[in-house]
Structure 1
Amino acid sequence: MKKAEFNRGKIKKIILSDLGWDEYFESSFAPYKNNYIAGRVACRQRTHYEVYIKGGYVRAGISGALKKAGKSPAVGDFAVILYQSETENYTIVNILPRKTEFSRGVSKNEGQNQIIAANVDIVFIVTSAGKDLNPRRLERYLSLVYSSGAKPVIIINKSDLSKSPDELLEKISSVCTDVSILTISALNKTGIKQLDSYLKPGITIALIGSSGVGKSTLINTLLKDYVQETCDVREYDEKGHHKTTVRQMFLLSGGGVVIDNPGLREVGIGTSGEGLSETFSDIKEFSQYCRFSDCRHKNEPGCAVIKAVSDGNISKERLETYLQLKSELRFEQEKSEIGLSRMEKKKWKSINATSRDIENIKKRMREL
């Protein structure tokens, strides 16, 4: 497999405020100001991180203390960096507190979320005209974005493949309450001007979506340069290959940054469920009128949500997705609690073992 490389594109002189540095991070960095450098993680490689600092970029390792603490920098993190002039080495020694944390649940990580990007202001949920335009998948994406604290914007790419762009909007408008939906063609560069209001200095935008929806093409269009490789989708199922293999940050010419991500095969909501109530605000509104405050909206008598489905105010598929996500959330939270319980037991087992060792040492010393 070809090694993933960090593509810096056309590097300009770096100004941290263009990358999102503000009073919040300035205050967090104050204790380190005299002896350390501030930077923003742009890409993670196997042995190092590519980091933007004032004036340019550097390659930095991670300190042993940070590894021992179980902290791993994510793309978008603002980091505290130690520069050793005698060896000309840069080392990340700490991560500044995050404003937002965009993550998803991954089955192989017991009770843990995989961080996609940190300190993101806006998430472009990129889909495309055709089979990928799936309301149910968008509901999952929206739950993730709302949980992170970022603002979602839905981008329907390849709109030129549809005879009626209005039909594309109609298909998903019912699941995207109060969310901007933009139709574009990144390849033909139509509708791109609609994105200008989001591309501002200091604003961080992350792109998520399935493989083949045109995220890399959109990146190239926004940067006006060929910085990301692209590939054609398969005709029989309209699915793309994972051409983008690393998560990385690009600098926009007008200021601000955009983070590209590999296509997501799984869209797990992880252990954070804050986004469900915002994504399904219509269900939340109707649930206020249920007979029971703990109504599960399944077969309980006096369920206002089920009545709303019967009356055609909520689609059956939308309620099914909501219940499925609630079930996944409960499972992930229980799994997380089990994992924490195991860690707690392991900690006290270690503490007790250490105490026994100390007592044995004292006993031997008394015998001497």
Structure 2
Amino acid sequence: MSKSSSPCNPQRIHTLEEIGWTEEFERAFSKYNGPYLPGRVACRQKTVFDLLIEDGEVTAGLSGAMRKLGRYPAVGDFVVLFSHPEAKTLTIVDILPQKTRFSRGASGRESSDHVIAANIDYIFIVTAAGHDFNLRRIERYLVIAHASGACPVVVLNKTDLLDDPSILIDEIHSISSDIPVIPISAMSGEGVEGLDPYLLPGKTITLIGSSGVGKSTLINHLLENQVQETSHIREYDGKGHHTTTVRQLFILKSGALMIDNPGLREVGIGCASEGIADTFPDILELAEECRFSDCQHEEEPGCAVKAAVQNGLLQAARLDSYQRLMRELAFEQEKAEIGLARLKKKRWKPIAKFAKDIQKSKER
């Protein structure tokens, strides 16, 4: 058995329950008899994975069969490990069913989604006061968060820069009235206790947000240790560079597990249709009153959604965001259903007019 010496996660003793193991995982694993044991992926290095197992941490490779099938576990996945007693090594031979799957659309013209993290309970959408604050970007994050099956929480960082944080909090509530918004200053620690209801033993949280919003600073505060490199943002545009370059899982002192993510330059929504419905319930409710069931809320007569915009009941920017995301969703579904090769050959031109618009949406 290869003990982990990776810097991805400090070694400590823990039980399976403490790393998120549940009865559902136990039932899925029960079919394996013999030299098998369960583990949870904490970090992926170039060719091997660091895993948490009962009573410690190990490093393991992926079986040839899984590589051939293209089955690569994500951080947070529970996997089945085959033990080679003679060689004292472990090999990942299967991935247990995921209770939640947090993914984003692949960049460019790829047709598959990219898994960010698995088996998570809460998604902290970290934004910050200043240049980074962008309601349209928060809506995009909410779409992929809702689609994952985990519960989203908006964390408004750097509130020490504001005279009145309630103004931005009200803006966030205007697009997601039922989503918790926790104002904090990760640098000073002010307000971080507001996250305590989610940092429970055995619960898994993942952080997402653009570069420079303070995700690494927040993790360092919660761990009470400088484990993540932090950086300053540029004053003229409020942007930072990616200080986190490896996705990894940490065990907090509260007993919760947290997955940090590199800042996302592009946030494609993949095929997250469920996330659209949960992020824009106000527009879907209005749409039920439209004259046509397939109304696109553009120039159709009898559109209740456009009427709501004209009457000041719905912000035009929110409708524009919804329509951009719907076009992107249709584009992603087209790729998934037809296949990239056929799309390039026969179907690319009719939807090429959306390409620039989609790219702009990802970068907003």
Q: Give TM-score, length-normalised by structure 2.
A: 0.90
C-alpha separation in 1, matches of 2:340 and 2:325: 22
Q: Corresponding residue for 2:212?
A: 212
Is the 1:123–1:152 Cα contact (8 Å) retained in structure 2? yes
Q: CA deviation at 1:33?
A: 4.4
Alignment partner, residue 306 of structure 1: 306
Q: CA deviation at 1:203?
A: 0.7
Name the structure 1 match of 2:45. Answer: 45
Compared CA separation, residues 309 and 250, structure 1 to 2 (3 A): same
The alpha carbon displacement at 1:227 in A equals: 0.8
Deviation at 1:9, TM superposition (A): 5.0
Distance 1:6 1:172 in 2: 39
1:231 maps to 231
Q: Say whether the 8 Å CA contact 1:6–1:248 is kept in structure 2.
A: no
Rounded to whole Å, the distance in 1 between the matches of 2:109 and 2:187 is 37
Partner of 2:150: 150
| Structure-2 separation of matches of 1:107 and 1:155 | 26
- In the alignment, is the contact (CA less than 8 A) between 2:271 and 2:333 conserved in 1? yes
Match of 1:366 in 2: none
Q: 1:226 to 1:136 in 2, by over 3 A?
A: same
TM-score, normalisation: structure 1: 0.89
Give the Å deviation of 1:273: 1.4
Q: Output aligned runs, 1:302-341, within 5 Å.
A: 302-339=302-339
Quick one: distance in 2 between partners of 1:122 and 1:61? 29
Matched, 1:96 2:99: no
Distance 2:55 2:34 in 1: 18
CA–CA separation in structure 2 for the residues paired with 1:8 and 1:260? 11
Q: Structure 1: which 5+ runs fail to align?
A: 344-368
Conserved in 2, the CA contact under 8 Å of 1:204 and 1:257? yes
1:49-88 equivalence runs, <5 A? 49-88=49-88
Counterpart position of 1:357: none
Partner Cα separation in structure 2 for residue 177 and residue 146 of structure 1: 14
Residue type matched to 1:139 in 2?
E
Q: Is the 8 A contact 1:9 1:225 kept in 2?
A: no
Cα 1:42–1:161, aligned 2, differ >3 Å: closer, same or farther?
A: same
Q: Do 1:111 and 1:271's aligned partners in 2 also have CA atoms closer than 8 Å?
A: no
CA distance in 2, matches of 1:88, 1:339: 43
Shift in Å at residue 163 of structure 1? 1.2
Q: Greater Rg, structure 1 or structure 2?
A: 1
Q: 1: distance between equivalents of 2:302 and 2:317?
A: 20
Structure 1 CA distance, aligned partners of 2:128 and 2:73? 31
Structure 2 gap segments, 5+ residues each: 344-364
Residue 11 of structure 1: how far off its partner (Å): 3.1
Q: Which residue of 1 aligns with 2:180?
A: 180
Shift, 1:193, TM fit: 0.7
> Residue 93 of structure 1: CA displacement?
0.4
Residue 293 (structure 1) aligns with: 293
Return the offset for 1:90. Answer: 1.0
Kept in 1: contact 2:9–2:248 (CA 8 A): no
Query: What fraction of aligned residue pairs are identical, expressed as a percent?
Result: 53
- Give 1:137 deviation, angstroms: 0.3
